Structure 1
Amino acid sequence: MTTRSLLRLAGAAAFAAGAVLLRALYAWLRPAPLALTTAPPPAPSDAILAAGARVVALGDCMVCHTAGKGPAYAGGFPLRTPFGTIYSTNITPDPDTGIGRWSAQAFRRAMREGVSRDAHLLYPTFPYIHYTRMSDRDIDLAWQYLMSRTPVKARPPENELMFPLNFRPLLAFWNMLYLEPGTSAIPASQPTPLARGRYLVDTLGHCASCHSGLNPIGGERRPPFKGGSIDGWDAPDLTALAANAWRHADLVDYLRGGLSPAHGAAKGPMRPVTERLAEVPRADVEAIATYLMSIQDAPAVEPVAARQAPAVLPGQALFAAACAACHAEPAPMMRLGGRPSLARSSAVQGASPMKFVQTVLRGIPWKHGSPFTCRPSRTR
């Protein structure tokens, strides 16, 4: 047997021994399963349901737990990561395929620790590293709202992850690195808009999940909010909004209605997020915008008007032929039809052309009229 063959054999043996040791350690550390419930929880009041719906909308639960045109919250949505595809779970109260037999304690543990009712570890595409800092009240409101919905019997497809990342015990060590349970972000009972906004961005909104990017083992890059990528779309740097001429009012319009006249429309994965934020009180969105505008770096880029390099000038003919009728300053469709200017659009001004290319190729399926006339504030 050659030296190379011996080394390969030794390596395989070491890996197998390590896997056995890891499994034994995990079995020792693994939390215990929690008992199944046999009776449904009591029906919540209308006030509790409204408050729970608000929490669930702020947490974007429907965005990830609804597959295409499938039933809301029934799971099966493909979450594509650099390590493979993970399918979201059914969080309707179906007793067999959903969370219908989960207790409030089991739901709270999943949110705080990333541990399912039967004690298997959840993949961090479910942002429990952010939800862990939610208040007990918000977690319980979300549980009561979800348990009040119509049960849907649906099982998601099997996850498609590369080896060894499909070996869930490895998540115990990932959690040691990135899960920091606590309640430090919970504001006081009467928080200021800034404190409320920080809480929503850090916990329910989990904005850093998309806007921070991932390191080689799937942890969020630090410092947070410096931009990332999801499903082929750029998630822009949230600390550079002021540098790109975003104002508080622009951000509120964009987050609540999916459209800012000065910066364009929400695209890709961000569009359904804005649809959910249109369902919550305006004060919540204003608080989010207040916090995001408070974390801005000093403007470090030249004004938009100065960034006209000769290399982009050949595109003027294409813009004039295909875009100017709606998006040029003198265009009647801009003044009368509410079409946004592209001068400060993040898709145009981003460091990468990815977002602009995705927008041109996929378009923006717009189901609503102007967000400023057709989406009145609704308090839930």
Structure 2
Amino acid sequence: MNLSWLRSRNFWIVVALLAAVALIVAVLLMWRPAIAPIERPPRFDTAQIQRGARVVEAGDCAVCHTRPGGEYLAGGLPLATPFGTLYSTNITPDAQTGIGQWSLPAFERAMRQGIARDGHFLYPAFPYVHYRRMSAEDIADAYAYLMSGPAVQAPARQNQMNFPMNIRPLVSFWNLLFLHGEPLTPLAERSAAWNRGRYLVDGPGHCAGCHSPLNLIGAEKSSEYLHGGSVDGWEAPALVGLGQQANPWNREQLVDYLRADVVAGHGTPAGPMRPVSLSLARLPASEADAIAEYLLSLKQPPTVTETTAPTPVAPASTAQGALLFSSACAGCHGRAAPMRQIDGRPPLESTSALHAASSRNYLKTVLEGLPAAPGAPGPQMPGFAASLDNQQLAALAVYLRQQARPDQPWADLSSTIEALRQEAK
């Protein structure tokens, strides 16, 4: 092999040029200019502020940007991700710690590109991948609403991201791979309600952020759109094929569930879905109805499933579970319980959590309960993490699963209970 070329001046010139080009490309990818600060706009049209309030509710902004006990939209909520913990930011119009100095173009850039006013990259836990599909009018209305609210001084908390994701400019390469899509346009062959539902699901509602599986670097798997995911230790169920399940949904049930009601045959939202449904309940019912029409149109692709003989259930387990149910649950969920009539408490064997393939959501509901939402109507339930041990939890789950799906006993009970106990620590 002739090594003279490697020692030549021309070779090193080519290497230097390639390195310079790579550096320039990297800088162009990882740098964004700041947008000049502004004085907070003095006023907006009342009708636009009202429209913006609905957009902010549809986008679940308060769900992430309001910590428990904190000021509305002032941030500070910890968001656990596989790459570390983020803290949501202050989106009130405070000039120093919020978005009070942001112009509409700066706000729209953040919503569509994930770039803050000062030019730093936002982490994709902020769902700009979906918000970029919103209309310019909705983004402007949301801006008007946020800038018209009370300013709260609340400095951002320090994120605790793992290396290398603590280097924000690297998000630019994530964006290069996954930040695609334009504002949604209606499909002429579909109804106005269907198009509205699609817009809410794929735009401000960003439903796929929880209800689609993620790849190794935290992007949604587009080939498994709404096929189910996980969030905060809960399983976010698949939203395709809702009308095809063994315990199918109809439109009325889904609308009521989306609006945080107790639904016969399915129960009521719990975990991270609870605040989302409470936000939807503050919107016109037509919004939930549109979402239901769209979701029920999504069919589950045919799959081949292998049938296996059910695992026998020990009589001792069901007997203990029945006793635990009568002592801890029957007061609200038993056949003759007054709360079944007064507060619409569901029979547990008909809830979606007890029909799910995994026991995780059922067990988390029992362990954590269903806390009351301040200022909002709706059911509540105490948590039993301290009063039931692992063996009792398993026995109760075995008993109730046998009422719901006697042909499919849960095989993951022990491992799931242990995992949930560890997560709680």
Other structure's SS at 2:350 match: coil
Match of 2:390 in 1: none
Corresponding position of 2:193 = 193
- Answering whether residue 134 of structure 2 is matched by residue 134 of structure 1, we say yes
- Identity of matched residues, %: 48
Cα separation, partners in 2 of 1:87 and 1:369, compared to 1, 3 Å: closer
Contact map agreement 1:187 1:199 (CA 8 A) in 2:
no
1:95-244 aligned within 5 A? 95-185=95-185, 192-221=192-221, 222-242=223-243, 243=245, 244=247
Structure 2: distance between partners of 1:118 and 1:280:
33
> Is the counterpart of residue 74 in structure 1 residue 77 in structure 2?
no
The CA distance in 1 between the partners of 2:327 and 2:302, in whole Å, is 33
Check the 8 A contact 2:262/2:345 in 1, yes or no.
Answer: no
Q: In the TM superposition, what is the alpha-carbon distance from 1:214 to its structure 2 partner?
A: 1.6
Tell me the equivalent position of 2:407: none
Partner Cα distance (1:298, 1:336) in 2 = 40
Query: 2-side partners of 1:194 and 1:228: how far apart?
Result: 23
Q: Assess if the C-alpha contact under 8 Å between 1:22 and 1:169 holds in 2.
A: no
8 Å contact kept, 1:210–1:235: yes
Larger deviation: 276-285 or 178-187? Answer: 178-187
Q: Does 1:268 pair with 2:271?
A: yes
Question: Which residue is equivalent to 1:251?
Answer: 254
Q: Identify if the C-alpha distance between structure 1 residues 350 and 22 changes in structure 2 by more than 3 Å, giving closer, same or farther.
A: farther
Q: Partner of 1:310: helix, strand, or coil?
A: coil
Partners of 2:334 and 2:83 in 1: CA distance: 42
CA distance in 1, matches of 2:166, 2:50: 38
Secondary structure at 1:260's aligned position in 2?
coil
CA distance in 2, matches of 1:22, 1:348: 54
Runs of 5+ in structure 2 lacking a partner?
1-18, 380-425
Seen in structure 2, the aligned counterparts of structure 1 residues 44 and 247 have a Cα distance that, compared at 3 Å, is same
Structure 2 counterpart of 1:283, one-letter code? S
1:124 counterpart SS class: coil
**Partner residue, 1:9:** none
2:344 matched to 1:343?
no
C-alpha distance in structure 2 between counterparts of 1:298 and 1:333, whole Å: 39
Q: 1:54 to 1:214 in 2, by over 3 A?
A: same
1:259 match: secondary structure: coil
Corresponding residue number in structure 1 for 2:334: 328
SS in 2 for 1:204: coil
Residue in 2 aligned with 1:3? none
Higher RCO structure, 1 or 2 (CA under 8 Å, sep 6+): 1
- 1:258 deviates by 4.2
Aligned 1:45-56 pairs, distance under 5 A: 45-56=45-56
CA positional deviation for 1:270: 0.8
For 1:361, the equivalent position in structure 2 comes to 367
**CA offset at residue 261 of structure 1?**
3.0
Cα gap change, 1:71 to 1:20, in 2 (>3 Å):
farther
> For residues 201 and 145 of structure 1, do their structure 2 counterparts lie closer, same or farther at Cα, with a shift above 3 Å needed?
same
Are the structure 2 counterparts of residues 336 and 95 from structure 1 closer, same or farther at C-alpha, using a change threshold of 3 Å? closer
**Number of residues paired by the alignment?**
348
Once the two structures are TM-superposed, the CA of residue 358 in structure 1 deviates from its matched residue by: 1.2
Runs of 5+ unmatched residues, structure 1 = 1-18, 372-380
State the secondary structure of the residue aligned to 1:214. Answer: coil
1:318 aligns with 2:324: yes
Q: Is the 8 A contact 1:211 1:226 kept in 2?
A: yes
What is the CA–CA distance in structure 2 between the aligned matches of 1:57 and 1:23, rounded to whole Å? 42
Contact 1:120 1:168 (8 Å CA) reproduced:
yes
- The whole-number CA distance in structure 1 between the counterparts of 2:89 and 2:255 is 31
Larger mean CA deviation between 86-95 and 337-346 belongs to 337-346
SS of equivalent residue, structure 1 residue 68: coil
Structure with greater Cα Rg: 2
Taking structure 1 as reference, are residues 83 and 185 closer, same or farther at Cα in structure 2, changes over 3 Å only?
farther
Name the CA distance, whole Å, in 2 between partners of 1:281 and 1:119: 37
Deviation at 1:223, TM superposition (A): 1.4
Distance 1:65 1:370 in 2: 23
Determine the C-alpha separation between the residues in 2 that align with 1:93 and 1:344: 46
| Counterpart in the other structure of 2:36 | 35
Indicate the SS of the match to 1:320: helix
Structure 1 193/295 Cα, relative in aligned 2: closer, same or farther at 3 Å? same
Amino acid at match of 1:155: P
Aligned CA RMSD, in angstroms, stands at: 2.7
TM-score by length of 2: 0.76
The list of structure 1 runs, each at least 4 consecutive aligned residues, that deviate by more than 4 angstroms after superposition, is: 19-24, 185-188, 298-302
Local SS of the residue matching 2:224: coil
